[in-house]
Amino acid sequence: MPMINEEYRGLTYPWGRKDAIKVGEPKEVAPGVWWVRFAMPGGLDHINIWLLEDEGGWTVVDTCMKLDSAKDQWEALFSGFMQGKPIVRVICTHLHPDHIGLAGWLCERFDCDVWMTRSEYLNASLLLSYTDEGIPDTALQFYKRAGFTDEMLSTYRRRFGTFGKMSEPLPHSYRRIVDLETINIGSHYWQVVIGQGHSPEHACLYCPGLKLIISGDQILPRITPNVSVFPTEPDGNPLEYWLSSNTRLLDILPEDLLVLPAHQTPFKGARTRLNQIIDGHRQSLARLYDFLATPRTVPECFDVMFNRQISDGEIQFATGETLAHLNYLVQNGNITRSVDEAGLHSYRANPHAHYIHLDEAAA
């Protein structure tokens, strides 16, 4: 497919916004950098995997989740496009199953290492250890406080442990990657750039020589990844890390980079997109703060946060994401949290605080 440079909302899509690639047909996006799309069930529909030509074989970035169809697709790549050359390393941007799900399977098959940041590796190991039995009481209490009904809690119980079902076990050892480390892949240097908030220590891979970045879920063109509070760290402030790490990326990355995201299609306009992401959260924070002039529970904030009906399947993520914004405001002193006799949390704007509204900030 020729380059068509479609412009949309300040970003340029060299291969168009949609249908730019077919599942199973790799496309070269830069010398030695191949874009491969794997199909996935559910709303995300697919993940983009990156195959990098390396000395003695291929470096793979992200793997797709544990699915028979994904294993079949890999098999077709091994014997077809990859010309029987081995995978020499598997780099995972972060711990979510669509990214690490087949890392263990690939590493075992090619006797190579998985390269990950430490927090992603250790947290993945913890999540993979959870099974349907033994839901911690603290997790149930966390969602109860956040307004889950008995029915929602039983759905949560039923779904607990699905993380492990979507991933093969990780190798028992790994190669740690760290922020700003340089990795030599093929004939180019790639720099690890860490982001936080969507996951604990998400690695992007920046190649100044090729003017591109493999951004994982950190920079996506038209959706923003989930930034959530989880029961393991109920007072966590992931939105603070998400905003500050994206602000840091603004300092590091030039605008005209080709961004290779894990979902949707490659685009140019890294800084424009980072600013859109940051502004989107700031607007949500401002709306939430205004709405909390009267005390509200977490589910009561959904309309203001998402401006659409939240389906049963989305409740857990919607709750986590709303809590991320509420915890941010609590920890900045803009709102306070209280608990009623039934243990339900509610949130209210602190009359003594002054929240900088967007229009005031712009004035």
Site residues (vs Zn ion, CB under 5 A): 96, 217
Contact partners, residue 271, CB within 8 Å, separation at least 6: 250, 253, 254, 255
Which residue number, 120 or 217, has a Cβ lying nearer to Zn ion?
A: 217
> How many helices (H) and strands (E) would you count in the chain?
12, 17
The answer to whether the beta carbons of residues 237 and 249 sit under 8 Å apart is no
The CB-of-195 to Zn ion minimum distance in angstroms stands at 11
Which residue number, 54 or 217, has a Cβ lying nearer to Zn ion?
A: 217
Which DSSP letter does residue 296 get? Answer: B
The CB-of-98 to Zn ion minimum distance in angstroms stands at 7
Gap between the Cα atoms of 164 and 65, Å rounded: 10
Which residue number, 120 or 168, has a Cβ lying nearer to Zn ion?
A: 120
The CB-of-17 to Zn ion minimum distance in angstroms stands at 21
The answer to whether the beta carbons of residues 107 and 86 sit under 8 Å apart is no
Which residue number, 20 or 220, has a Cβ lying nearer to Zn ion?
A: 220
Helix, strand, or coil (residue 320): helix
Which residue number, 47 or 315, has a Cβ lying nearer to Zn ion?
A: 47
Which residue number, 177 or 288, has a Cβ lying nearer to Zn ion?
A: 177
Helix, strand, or coil (residue 149): coil
Short-list 172, 164, 201, CA closest to 65 = 164
Give the CA distances from residue 125 to residues 21, 28, 137, 341, in Å, rounded to whole numbers and listed in that order: 33, 33, 21, 37
The two tokens of residue 159 are 């779904």
Which residue number, 195 or 269, has a Cβ lying nearer to Zn ion?
A: 195
The CB-of-360 to Zn ion minimum distance in angstroms stands at 34
The answer to whether the beta carbons of residues 229 and 236 sit under 8 Å apart is yes
The CB-of-177 to Zn ion minimum distance in angstroms stands at 17
The CB-of-134 to Zn ion minimum distance in angstroms stands at 25
Classify the C-alpha dihedral 63-17-42-304 as positive or negative. Answer: positive
Helix, strand, or coil (residue 6): strand
Widest Cα–Cα separation across the chain: 66
The CB-of-125 to Zn ion minimum distance in angstroms stands at 17
Give the CA distances from residue 47 to residues 39, 80, 84, 108, 113, in Å, rounded to whole numbers and listed in that order: 7, 20, 23, 22, 22
The CB-of-64 to Zn ion minimum distance in angstroms stands at 13
Which residue number, 81 or 230, has a Cβ lying nearer to Zn ion?
A: 230
